[in-house]
Amino acid sequence: MNQLSTMKLRGKLTLLGLTIIIWLSISSASVLVRLSGASAETCAFWRLLFSLIILFTLLKIKNNHGYTSGYTIHHFIAGFALAMHFLVWMHSLFLIPIYTSTLLVTLYPIYSLIIEVVVFSRKPRVIQVAGLILASILLGVYLGVSDIGFNLGVFEALLGGVFAAIYFVAGYHVRSRLKEPTTIYAIKVYSTATLITGVVSVASGVEIIPKSISTIVYLVLLAVIPMILGHTLMNYLLGKYPASIVSSISFGEPYGAGLLAYILLGESVSIQQLILGSIILLVVFTTIVKSSE
């Protein structure tokens, strides 16, 4: 094996490893929210705020203060979209079944691809398009979603997916084209999202102050695992790969959440779900690795 082949193999293995870490991390969000006992708004606000504290600490350790300059409209768009993604999607969970909301919101890799094609004139590979479509169909079968009627909850879940797509595409522009470091980019975007989430929550009369130490612990875990090891690593990958490729990891989130709920909460998982979920992961991981070549 020559040096070029070795480097390509190493790159694929690194991408696959990061993909697995991100998948497990974002899959933990729903379980941690359930364990926290806090409202959706409380979880959204504090996971963002604690993430900011962690990232600021990392910058302090690196003695890097570049986060104070270079704020652009793209940072605002990404931060606004992230905040609205959290708020409208989490609200939909109280209006429609969780599995229906999950399917509708995780369609955002397809929206991301559409935006990339229309706005950036990107020409995706056939395997990526086929993989996204197949993953969407398999996820619908896995969740057992059928006969979806249009109502406010469905609209909010779909809108949450659109905002997620905007968040990731904006991130791709800043990370890959403007070459902004991951930590600095994440601080600017998370700051905007934290402010917007806090203002909306307070204006809505939602109490966002944690009620117990255990709740605070789970809110910190929400920041460390799904936010830092999930979203922030996804923002890192956006510097190398298009948003539609990176965000396709989300198709595996319902299966990952189901496995973690089985392990940590004792919820049941059927053999059919295990098989379908494994196939979804295979499709997702194959699509990501092949599309990144």
Q: Tokens 């996204």 identify what position?
A: 132
Structure token pair of residue 216 = 């605070």
- 194 domain residue, yes or no: yes
Residue 67 confidence (pLDDT) above 60: no
- 212 domain residue, yes or no: yes
CA distances from 68 to 73, 86, 188, 254, 265 (A): 15, 25, 9, 37, 42
Residue 69 confidence (pLDDT) above 70: no
Q: What is the model's pTM?
A: 0.90
Domain count for the chain, please give it: 1
- 9 domain residue, yes or no: no
- Of 67-71, 108-112, 283-287, 288-292, minimum mean pLDDT range: 67-71
pLDDT at res. 65: 57
HSE, CB side, 13 Å, CA atoms: give it for residue 29: 25
φ, ψ for residue 2 (rounded to 5)?
-75, 175
Residue pLDDT, tens place only, 156-196: 989 999 999 999 999 998 988 888 889 999 999 999 999 99
- 2 domain residue, yes or no: no
The conformation of residue 66, written as its DSSP 8-state character, comes to: G
Residue pLDDT, tens place only, 75-130: 999 999 999 998 888 788 778 777 777 778 888 999 999 999 998 888 888 999 99
Q: Cα 161 from chain centroid?
A: 10
The rounded distance, in Å, linking the Cα atoms of 281 and 289 is: 12
- 25 domain residue, yes or no: no
pLDDT confidence bin for 207, thresholds 50/70/90: confident
The rounded distance, in Å, linking the Cα atoms of 155 and 105 is: 10
- From the list 230, 211, 216, 209, the residue with the least C-alpha distance to 42 is 209
Domain residues for the domain of 267 are 38-291
